Structure formats: C-alpha cells, structure tokens
Amino acid sequence: MAADLGLSRNQRWRKVILPAIFPAYVTGGITAAGGAWNASIVAEVVVWGPHHLSAEGLGAYIANASNSAAPDHFAKVLAGVIVMSLFVVFVNRLLWRRLYQLAESHFSL
C-alpha cells in the first residue's frame, strides 16, 4: 500500500510502520521493565553453597532485614516493600501509563 501511494522510505516508517508497532512495543516494554525490576531486586543477594554475595540496594536491604533477629525486622521489611511499591507505582504512572494512553489514542484501530 505504501509503495502504491508513492511514500518515501522515511514516510513509510513515520506513517505506517512505527504507528503499527508502537502499541506492541509499549506492552513489551512494560512487561520487560517489570521482569528486569524483579530480577534486579532478587539478584542483589545470591547464595551458592558456601559463597554469599550481596550488593547494596533495596533487595539486599529487604533480604538482610528479613534474615535479622532484631525486634524491628518486620518494620524494616515493611518499609523496604513500601518503598519498592511506591517506586513501581510512580514509574508506571509517570512513564508507562502515558505511553500506553498515547498508543491507545493515536495508534489503535
């Protein structure tokens, strides 16, 4: 169709191809970002046999607090989970929701 209309290569990409793939790209981005976020949190603490590796971050904070015998360990775990949840909500609201609405309003059939 684009060739029959005489669209240039640049016009084909801007007017046909990118609008067609944008909704799927946004959906894939949301899914990939969620998986990457989960993997990065979990990967901050790794135990393999006698080896124990730990990074500094939210996942390590939650893991260390949950393994602690301190009386306030539940409060620390809860604080870590709340911070993690707020971060995910803010990223979803500020970035992914806007991109998804753009995909629905401008690039849907």
Q: What is the pLDDT of residues 63-74, one digit of tens each?
A: 888 887 778 888
Identity of the residue numbered 86: L
Could you tell me which residue, 12 or 4, shows the higher pLDDT?
Answer: 12
Output the pTM of the full model.
Answer: 0.70
Q: Alpha-carbon distance 80 to 64, whole Å?
A: 11
Q: At which residue do the structure tokens 């990409």 appear? A: 13
- Give 8's contacts (C-beta < 8 A, 6+ positions apart): none
Q: What whole-number distance in Å separates Cα of residue 60 and Cα of residue 93?
A: 26
